[in-house]
Structure 1
């Protein structure tokens, strides 16, 4: 396959599906770390209502793109638009305030706090954070805390975690911590959630629950998802479209069945497992 063919997704797999308006528009971003170019003028879009998969080999630049989008690392060049607003270079908390949230491959729970407290901590602009409100607006502080608690309990019930609500978060299993990470994003009614390897280190039973929750949140609550994942069964069964990255650039984009049947993707990124299954 020539370089020109590799960098033209429409020639490789057809036009990506038109699911709705463009929610996230990553325009020609680049990021260098010393002499290493981790992201090389990458452009991609995420349309509202989709569960978009982002795959590629280790070192393809996927996590750096996530970090650029969510403000953990600013790109050296290019622009990132979310709902038409330029969020390039904003701090993570500013991007979070736009209802763009993320989870991490290794969950970042507050281990010394309970599961319920982890969720109640998430909402922004809590009036109880200011000491004078705790002194002079106790009623307002209490009402807001009750609202946050009610919402947290609703999220825990949705994720089937109510039985561990009073457990220290550090004591949860790996899969339960992934569910808790997802629950924390739900506390702010997000528009877009970026999931970094939600299947990593999760047993099959809990993974099935995570996948089911993602599907329901997309279809029932209208939340859009962009996820990095190395579990190809999860990607192919959950995501549409699928974006493939290589060497910091977008290589291919399309529906999962087209990406799955693309020979260059099969050989370079799926390790031959699907090629063997179809031979």
Structure 2
């Protein structure tokens, strides 16, 4: 499982019902290590529900999730996160009344300063760890080009800057696999190019990505392979240009998204 191109994530026959609605219907897919894999499909296809199942925010009614060969089905989100599988949200969940830098410094788990007695009995260790975390946070902010905003309240950032901050917060956890939920939503073209460039750089550093995205131009530029979901199941998978011409995919998108493939 450690080799480049081997599955880092395996979804096996996942099922999730909400009352009488089956949102995910026996879905099977794999994400290969070292890839930027796109996950697309019409609205209501089950993409975000699948993300929630993989990351522990929902429990499946059937099926399994394997991460690096380990069964993580139904683990709570914090345990999934600590294994190296991290996600961002469609609406970034930053702490709006804290600075950009403080948002990053909160991420690493197990900080000594979280236990009040350490501040009394081990102050040197607490300061040393805090300084190391601060140094790491500043490096990450430089990487996503937000260092100049380190002291700004997170709530004052633009939509695109908040997406970069969300990515930066995920990077503080040193993830192996990052799930991005619509990173292009509400982001202007300049910041979108910056975000896409950062994702490609991180792929080069060994981080794997699974990305839900409706912007087909972004998917075609960034993702290979592309997985298509429809009605809770995997409909197709392949290189972006092959997916673009797949008649089953075009049919699934009729009535709203078809033009995105033809344009």
TM-score, shorter chain, exceeding 0.5: yes
SS of the aligned residue for 1:66 comes to helix
Who is 2:213 aligned against?
A: 229
Shift of 1:19: 6.1
What is the aligned-residue RMSD (CA, Å)?
1.3
Q: Aligned match of 1:268 in 239, 249, 252?
A: 252
Retained in 1: the 8 A contact 2:94–2:166?
A: yes
Matched, 1:68 2:68: no
Who is 1:28 aligned against?
A: 13
Retained in 1: the 8 A contact 2:216–2:260?
A: no
Runs of 4+ in structure 1 over 2 Å off = 266-277
Q: Distance in 2 between matches of 1:147 and 1:207?
A: 30
Task: Count the aligned residue pairs.
Answer: 259
SS of the aligned residue for 1:128 comes to helix
Retained in 1: the 8 A contact 2:216–2:261?
A: no
Retained in 2: the 8 A contact 1:50–1:240?
A: yes
SS of the aligned residue for 1:189 comes to coil
Q: Distance in 2 between matches of 1:19 and 1:53?
A: 18
Shift of 1:273: 2.3
Q: Give the TM-score taking structure 2 as reference length.
A: 0.96
Q: Distance in 2 between matches of 1:144 and 1:65?
A: 36
Shift of 1:131: 1.0
Shift of 1:267: 3.7
Retained in 2: the 8 A contact 1:267–1:275?
A: no
Give deviations 1:119-167, integer Å, cap 9, x for gaps.
0000011111011111111111100000000000000001110111000
Gaps of 5+ in 2: none
SS of the aligned residue for 1:135 comes to helix
Shift of 1:21: 1.0
Who is 1:150 aligned against?
A: 135
Query: 1:12-27 maps to which residues of 2 (within 5 A)?
Result: 20-27=5-12
Retained in 2: the 8 A contact 1:260–1:274?
A: no
Q: Distance in 2 between matches of 1:146 and 1:112?
A: 22
Retained in 1: the 8 A contact 2:5–2:33?
A: yes
Who is 1:53 aligned against?
A: 38
Give deviations 1:149-191, integer Å, cap 9, x for gaps.
0000000001110111000000000000000000011111110
Q: Aligned match of 2:189 in 194, 204, 207?
A: 204
SS of the aligned residue for 2:73 comes to coil
Gaps of 5+ in 1: 1-17
Q: Distance in 2 between matches of 1:113 and 1:248?
A: 38
Give deviations 1:83-127, integer Å, cap 9, x for gaps.
011110001000000010000010000001000000000001111
SS of the aligned residue for 2:11 comes to strand
Query: 1:44-193 maps to which residues of 2 (within 5 A)?
Result: 44-193=29-178
Retained in 1: the 8 A contact 2:92–2:166?
A: yes
Q: Distance in 2 between matches of 1:142 and 1:92?
A: 29
Shift of 1:276: 4.1
Q: Give the TM-score taking structure 1 as reference length.
A: 0.91
Q: Distance in 1 between matches of 2:250 and 2:7?
A: 28
